[in-house]
Structure 1
Amino acid sequence: MTRHPLFDLLSRAALPAACILVAAYFLSHATFGAAGLLSLGSIRQESAALQARKQQLTAERDAMQRRIDLLDPRKVDPDYADELVRQQLGVVRPDEIIVPLESEKRQPIR
């Protein structure tokens, strides 16, 4: 029994066609996928936003660390301790004037 020429053509083309379909699948994901070329701009924007947030959190952490250092039992800053006590207890007389200082200007007393 002889094979039909169309069947021979289809059997020879099946493997290349499957390879082309697999390559097209991966190429489409590389272009249009969540991490593809078309979403590269939004990924860069998100990365920049995350870097800015990281810098903000680092600055907040550093400010907290400075405040913690001011309360170190070996070298407590009396002005900062007084400020915290008054703030927590609500012990401010009506005739007092509170002048907030920048935290950078405070130096612990040694």
Structure 2
Amino acid sequence: MKRSRSEPKFARDRVSMGVAIAALVLMAGWCVAGPSGLLAWSENLRTLDQRQKQVEQLTLKRDELKNRVALLDPRHADPDLAGELLRSNLNVVHPDEMVMMLR
């Protein structure tokens, strides 16, 4: 009688151990090949470097635009920048000036 009771328990233990091992193998595979696993690590680092370069470029562009906005403040506009904008946008020149197109 003991033998008949231990056999189903032994079979149940083997099934539960098999399920546990399968779950561990699945989790290990996910850690290696998943979207945030070891194989994706180098791609994430490369993407991070690209994004940092983009942030640096956009920061420089933002600083240039901030400077230009500060120079165009109506209370104390920079005369050189105002003259440059007039000449480029409205084609306004003084009679004694010579225009040379550099392109």
Q: Unaligned 5+ residue runs, structure 2?
A: none
Q: CA RMSD in A?
A: 2.6
SS of the residue 1:40 aligns to: helix
| Max Rg structure | 2
Map Cα deviations across residues 49-87 of structure 1 (whole Å, 9 max, x no partner): 110110000000000111011001222001101111222
Q: 1:37 to 1:96 in 2, by over 3 A?
A: same
Deviates more, 1:34-43 or 1:53-62: 34-43
Query: Larger relative contact order (C-alpha < 8 A, sep ≥ 6)?
Result: 1
Partner residue in 2 for 1:50: 51
Change (3 A) 1:11 1:80: same
Give TM-score, length-normalised by structure 1.
Answer: 0.74
> Which structure: greater helix fraction?
2
The alignment's TM-score, normalised by the length of structure 2, stands at 0.78
- 1:11 aligned residue: 12
- 2:6 and 2:93 map into 1 onto residues whose CA distance is 101
C-alpha separation in 1, matches of 2:40 and 2:93: 56
| Residue 15 of structure 1, CA deviation | 2.0
Q: Structure 1: 5+ residue runs without aligned partners? A: 100-110
> How far 1:4 moved relative to its partner?
8.5
Query: Residue type matched to 2:98 in 1?
Result: D
Query: Letter of the aligned partner of 1:64 in structure 2?
Result: L
